Amino acid sequence: MKNAPEFYHVHPEVKQAQAEGRPVVALESTVITHGLPYPDNLATARSMETAVRHGGAVPATIAILRGQIHIGLTAAQLEYLATRPGEQVRKCSRRDLPLVLARGEDGATTVAGTMILAHHSGIELFATGGIGGVHRGHPFDVSADLTELGRTPITVVCSGAKSILDLALTREVLETNGVPVIGYGTAELPAFFTPFSGHAVDLRVDTPAEAAALIHARRQLGLQSGTLLVVPVPAGEACDPDLAENASAQATREADEQGISGAAATPWLLRRVAELTGGQSLRANVALLHNNGRVAAEVAAALLAHSRPGNGQS
């Protein structure tokens, strides 16, 4: 642990894995509190941890409980978080972290928030479903996830972003921020529910070792920026592309009509898209979360073949 431990609680299993040099994968908590409906959120959070274990790593779900940062949750803590009404848990991006700590509140970490806390804890790999991006029709609503990817050396394994976002602009901002988009078994940026978006990745890799080599190269360069490893939803679990697109378009239109903006925009859109697509989207969402957990674990394991640079920074 590099930073002040005052607010930090590292789960004993995570601590032990780190002490023994075994791989650890970080998982976010906003997907639990604001991304999926109960009870699917709890079932998915649990089974994603299992998927990470099957991939050969220890899962560390990250959240803030009563102003304390938890790196790895107990079963009871996970259940507490999943059953709290979303309004009672602050969605924590970089901006929000000091607020919940100072007030002793509960906070669920977004991709940006999770990256920061994972980095403080010496965890390199982080698996989730989708990142935030540039909202459709709102080119100035740019998720802090994209900024964080440009400034924190964490590898985020995800399935791209939902088409509630403007994927072309999201791609541009990632480039500006110096974030390489690496396709895992694909040459195309996935669009979350579906494997294809029409946007190319910067490089395709096909094995955990190839992905680990990229992380190693970034460390060697001393770059303090992140990497996006994008993994398409497993074949057979994808959503119908028209269904996903129509739902995204309708949800975006409705959000505009109702004036939904700021941090509330993404959770609102996620819930509306889930309603409009029904069970199909939920099935795809759960399948890709599992798969990304497994891939992140395999990459974390492959990364052990590379030694860390002497400064202990990455």
Over the window 85 to 114, marking each residue x when it contacts ligand PSU by CB under 6 A and - when it does not, the resulting string is --------x----------------xx---
**Tokens at 301, concatenated:** 């394991």
By the rule CB under 6 A, 263 interacts with ligand PSU: yes
Site for Mn ion in 7-46 (CB under 5 A): none
Q: Segment contacting Mn ion (CB under 5 A): 39-47, 68-76, 100-108, 133-141?
A: 133-141
Output the smallest distance, CB 205 to ligand PSU, in A.
23
By the rule CB under 6 A, 31 interacts with ligand PSU: yes
Over the window 124 to 163, marking each residue x when it contacts ligand PSU by CB under 6 A and - when it does not, the resulting string is -----xxxx----------xxx----------------x-
**Tokens at 29, concatenated:** 């908590």
Answer yes or no: are the C-beta atoms of 82 and 22 closer than 8 Å.
no
Output the smallest distance, CB 35 to Mn ion, in A.
14
- Our CB check for ligand PSU shows the closer of 12 and 278 to be 278
65 membership: H or E segment, kind and range: strand 58-65
By the rule CB under 6 A, 115 interacts with ligand PSU: no
Beta-carbon contacts of 282 under 8 Å, excluding residues fewer than 6 positions away, are 36, 40, 274
Task: With CB under 5 A as the rule, give the number of residues binding Mn ion.
Answer: 1
28 part of the active site? yes
217 membership: H or E segment, kind and range: helix 208-221
What's the CA gap between 271 and 99, in Å, rounded?
Answer: 25
Find the angle CA(288)-CA(125)-CA(42) to the nearest 5 degrees: 45
Find the angle CA(169)-CA(171)-CA(173) to the nearest 5 degrees: 70
By the rule CB under 6 A, 248 interacts with ligand PSU: no
Residue in 199, 196, 270, 281 with CA at minimum distance from that of residue 243: 281
- Our CB check for ligand PSU shows the closer of 69 and 212 to be 69
What's the CA gap between 233 and 294, in Å, rounded?
Answer: 12
- Our CB check for Mn ion shows the closer of 266 and 292 to be 266
295 membership: H or E segment, kind and range: helix 279-303
Site for Mn ion in 139-198 (CB under 5 A): 141
- Our CB check for ligand PSU shows the closer of 52 and 212 to be 52
What is the DSSP-derived secondary structure letter of residue 41?
H
The angle that helices 265-277 and 241-258 make with each other, rounded to 10 degrees, is 140
Task: Point out the catalytic residue in the list 28, 49, 124, 237.
Answer: 28
What's the CA gap between 283 and 90, in Å, rounded?
Answer: 26
Output the smallest distance, CB 129 to ligand PSU, in A.
5
| Residue 129 binding partner per list ligand PSU, Mn ion, none, with a CB distance cut-off of 5 to 8 Å that depends on partner kind | ligand PSU
Q: DSSP string of 112-157?
A: HHHHHHHHHTT--EEE-S----EETTEEEEE-HHHHHHTTS--EEE
189 membership: H or E segment, kind and range: none
The residue from 15, 18, 28, 186 that contacts ligand PSU (CB under 6 A) is: 28
Task: Point out the catalytic residue in the list 49, 91, 162, 298.
Answer: 162
Task: With CB under 6 A as the rule, give the number of residues binding ligand PSU.
Answer: 19
By the rule CB under 6 A, 239 interacts with ligand PSU: no
Q: Contact positions toward Mn ion, by CB under 5 A?
A: 141
Q: Contact positions toward ligand PSU, by CB under 6 A?
A: 28, 30-31, 35, 93, 110-111, 129-132, 143-145, 162, 192, 263, 266, 270
Q: Which residues are catalytic?
A: 28, 162
